[in-house]
Structure 1
Amino acid sequence: MRAAVLHETGQEKLEVHEGVRLPETGPGKVRVRLRAASLCHSDLSAMSGVLPQPAPFVPGHEGAGEVTELGEGVAETFGLAVGDHVVICWMPPCGICPNCRRGEGNLCLSGFANMGTPGYHHDGTDIFGFSGTGTFAEESVVAAGCAVKLPDDVPFEVAALIGCGVTTGVGAAIHTAKVVPGSSVVVFGCGGVGIATIQGARVAGAAQIIAVDPVASRREWALRFGATEAVAPEGLAEVQQRLTGGEGFDYAFEVVGRSATVRAAYDATRRGGALVVVGAGAMDDMAQFNMFELFFNEKRILPSLYGGSDVLRGYRTVIDLWRAGRLDLEGMITHHVRLEGVNDAVQQMRSGEALRTVIDL
């Protein structure tokens, strides 16, 4: 089969290889023919080295497809069957650890066990799949918990978005922040996850949703998906003064993953408001706050991992809102970016019959 491979961390171009082999579908494993995959910024962060990921590896952790083979015990334990449509879950909850028993399946660490085993082999070299998955391939063998059964009415392209970015962004607004109807929101970063955050804030009933992004085309998309205003970073001060009298917003979402934007989002939050950190950043990028402002301003700092809720609950929430017409996921499929090297690989993978659609967000 074919797969897009990053051979060295920091390399700018993906290479699409023929003849990539998969391991056997052993006990507790599932073989999936991928039908759609989407590109999350976390994939780019892994490629650049911001997020830890051994190379060589197949990027991609958002995807959906069909089950083609089951390992021993999978049918009985997970209720999967050949032909089932599934969404790939890059960090599946185990259901039995303390985090899962508290209903915090997004904090389950069992999925990390999947990340240390190579998932592909080519030309004498073992190749990892990003986050234990690797969806920029025509097929993949994953742990059974990574293959979550989909309702038949969910298209593969929509399901690929649900696998991470949409669940993360919508969940940050609904589950982590618990945005209150009539409140004010500012979102820093309007990529795929930022757009999902904006949609989540709109669904929750926010009256004012300000999108902040230096890229004009992203600001235009933010307005389409529910932002009431969209500004470049240098325009935020005027909007904050005009809408809040300079006090700041009830909720600020940082969807970039950098200490500088975390600081800017904190400063844009009103006293007693909430800063929600959604972006995945580097371990050596330190955000700084002084002890007096943390105490005196009483701004809540809320990290949000994978939607801030049990992952499977998050999937169900997004699917139900999409069915009800409250989330526009089809519209997000056409939100393209131009990334040298990555886009070349996307076009090559699209030309295949097995992987019909690769969505680049």
Structure 2
Amino acid sequence: MQTRGAVIRQAPGKYEVVDLEVDDPQNGEIQVQMVASGMCHSDDHVATGDIPVGVYPFAGGHEGAGIVTKVGPGTRGYKEGDHVVFSFLPGCGRCRWCATGQQNLCDLGSTLLQGSRWDDPESFRLHLDNGQPVGQMCGISTFCETTTVAIDSAVVVPDDIPLDKACLVGCGVGTGWGSAVNSAEVKPGDTVIVMGIGGIGINAVQGARHAGASNIIAVDPVAFKREKAQELGATHAVDSMEEATELAKQFTNGQGADSAIVTVGVTKPEHVGQAFAAIRKAGTAVVTGLGDISEVGVPIAISELTLFQKRLQGALFGASAPSFGILRQLEMYQQGHLKLDELITKTYSLDEIQQGYQDMHDGKNIRGVIIY
């Protein structure tokens, strides 16, 4: 069938909305009419070229929710009319990582940027009207009005949850919340620094608050973002890591923060070094943000790593299992323990996607959401 979607034709480049042909679902696939899509910074990394992809044109979007309109032959567990939230990380349920409770590291993740079906690099679900293949971001491409995806990437959610809010738990909420709760292992009474308050960092603040941290120091140069951080649980908000580090020492008798979580939109090696320097002995620096993925090297002292027994921890989707974590976070939302409505700064139409990303770069948005 025909649909419309936002694609990048080359990198660096800008998203443009074009007419697309989308395949009917095959076995193990569903077709979904999108209701909403979050505008994550990772899709902008694709546009800038920080994250190279396997094929151009490439249809963006990896944080979305919608309603199932077709189910592939022989596909169990889904029916037309189901409400689904996409997980940007698929889960096969069979590989070593899924079998040991680390679904966020599923082996299918190795194909997220190739743009084709998982099992066939020559098979694409999206095409231009001239037949040219179009890659799918994370195998889902939520910047399309209708998309066809593998069921490995879709979680059925209760019908009474608003999908324009639920879309956020497919990436930003779980990534930030889990970075604090799972990766940093925040404990009651901890002092935590969250570096960078965007769609991920704001949820790291929520996670640290939920875990019982006494001091949550949000760091961002944009005053609006510092204000939002305090609305969602930060106890302090400053514009530099120097000030955050000094505050953490004041709260801990000079020891430093128990953990520092790096959620900067374009993460650079120096950000990791600053977080590492801010934590106490046996503390944890969590790196969640992305930048140029070809960049190598982090400015930390090996002696400090060894003799102070500090931990440098990466975090993918906050070390959460998507098929469980998405539903748990939506339960928390329904119970009033997790804020979603407050994360959405502004909504856009698909045709306004470039304005949405400009607003993100200008520091005007915590999360922009496309409404279909």
Q: Same fold (TM over 0.5)?
A: yes
CA distance, structure 1, for counterparts of residue 331 and residue 234 of structure 2: 22
Distance 1:142 1:179, change over 3 A: same
After superposition, residues 334-353 of structure 1 pair within 5 angstroms as 334=345, 342-344=353-355
CA distance, structure 2, for counterparts of residue 114 and residue 60 of structure 1: 12
3-state DSSP of counterpart to 2:158: coil
3-state DSSP of counterpart to 1:21: strand
Distance 1:268 1:341, change over 3 A: farther
**2:276 corresponds to 1:275:** no
Any idea what the Cα deviations from partners look like across 1:259-303, whole Å, max 9, x if unmatched?
Answer: 111111101111111111111232324213332111111111121
3-state DSSP of counterpart to 1:307: helix
> Are 2:193 and 2:244, in contact at CA under 8 Å, matched by a contact in 1?
no
**2:190 corresponds to 1:179:** no
- Give the superposition deviation at 1:164: 0.5
For 1:150, the equivalent position in structure 2 comes to 157
3-state DSSP of counterpart to 2:339: coil
**2:307 corresponds to 1:296:** yes
For 2:363, the equivalent position in structure 1 comes to none
For 2:11, the equivalent position in structure 1 comes to 9
- Give the superposition deviation at 1:183: 0.8
CA distance, structure 2, for counterparts of residue 114 and residue 279 of structure 1: 17
Any idea what the Cα deviations from partners look like across 1:305-345, whole Å, max 9, x if unmatched?
Answer: 112132222213312221221111011122679xx984447
- Give the superposition deviation at 1:115: 4.5
After superposition, residues 18-29 of structure 1 pair within 5 angstroms as 19-29=19-29
**2:89 corresponds to 1:81:** no
For 2:32, the equivalent position in structure 1 comes to 32
CA distance, structure 1, for counterparts of residue 309 and residue 160 of structure 2: 45
> Are 1:252 and 1:275, in contact at CA under 8 Å, matched by a contact in 2?
yes
**2:256 corresponds to 1:248:** yes
After superposition, residues 147-296 of structure 1 pair within 5 angstroms as 147-233=154-240, 234-256=242-264, 257-281=267-291, 282-296=293-307
3-state DSSP of counterpart to 2:37: strand
For 1:106, the equivalent position in structure 2 comes to 104
Distance 1:310 1:189, change over 3 A: same
3-state DSSP of counterpart to 2:65: strand
For 2:68, the equivalent position in structure 1 comes to 67
For 1:351, the equivalent position in structure 2 comes to none
3-state DSSP of counterpart to 2:21: coil
Distance 1:147 1:231, change over 3 A: same
1:159 aligned partner, one-letter code: A
**RMSD (CA atoms):** 2.2
> Are 2:63 and 2:168, in contact at CA under 8 Å, matched by a contact in 1?
yes
CA distance, structure 2, for counterparts of residue 316 and residue 37 of structure 1: 18
Distance 1:68 1:104, change over 3 A: same
**Ranges in structure 2 where 5+ consecutive residues have no aligned partner:** 117-123, 359-368
TM-score by length of 1: 0.89
Any idea what the Cα deviations from partners look like across 1:178-219, whole Å, max 9, x if unmatched?
Answer: 210111100001001000110010011101000011112111
CA distance, structure 1, for counterparts of residue 356 and residue 232 of structure 2: 28
Distance 1:341 1:56, change over 3 A: farther
> Are 1:255 and 1:279, in contact at CA under 8 Å, matched by a contact in 2?
yes
CA distance, structure 1, for counterparts of residue 311 and residue 109 of structure 2: 29
CA distance, structure 2, for counterparts of residue 270 and residue 53 of structure 1: 38
CA distance, structure 2, for counterparts of residue 358 and residue 63 of structure 1: 9
2:33 aligned partner, one-letter code: R
> Are 2:245 and 2:257, in contact at CA under 8 Å, matched by a contact in 1?
no
Distance 1:229 1:288, change over 3 A: same
For 1:353, the equivalent position in structure 2 comes to none
- Give the superposition deviation at 1:237: 4.3
CA distance, structure 2, for counterparts of residue 182 and residue 210 of structure 1: 13
> Are 1:89 and 1:148, in contact at CA under 8 Å, matched by a contact in 2?
yes
> Are 1:4 and 1:345, in contact at CA under 8 Å, matched by a contact in 2?
no
Work out which of the residue numbers 125, 134, 148 in structure 2 matches 1:119: 125
Aligned residues: 343
> Are 1:30 and 1:70, in contact at CA under 8 Å, matched by a contact in 2?
yes
For 1:306, the equivalent position in structure 2 comes to 317
2:74 aligned partner, one-letter code: G
- Give the superposition deviation at 1:358: 0.7
- Give the superposition deviation at 1:177: 2.0
**Ranges in structure 1 where 5+ consecutive residues have no aligned partner:** 348-356
TM-score by length of 2: 0.87
CA distance, structure 1, for counterparts of residue 4 and residue 158 of structure 2: 28
3-state DSSP of counterpart to 2:259: strand
CA distance, structure 2, for counterparts of residue 69 and residue 330 of structure 1: 29
Distance 1:345 1:212, change over 3 A: closer
CA distance, structure 2, for counterparts of residue 307 and residue 249 of structure 1: 19
- Give the superposition deviation at 1:145: 1.4
Q: Which moved more, 1:251-260 or 1:241-250?
A: 241-250
CA distance, structure 1, for counterparts of residue 227 and residue 170 of structure 2: 25
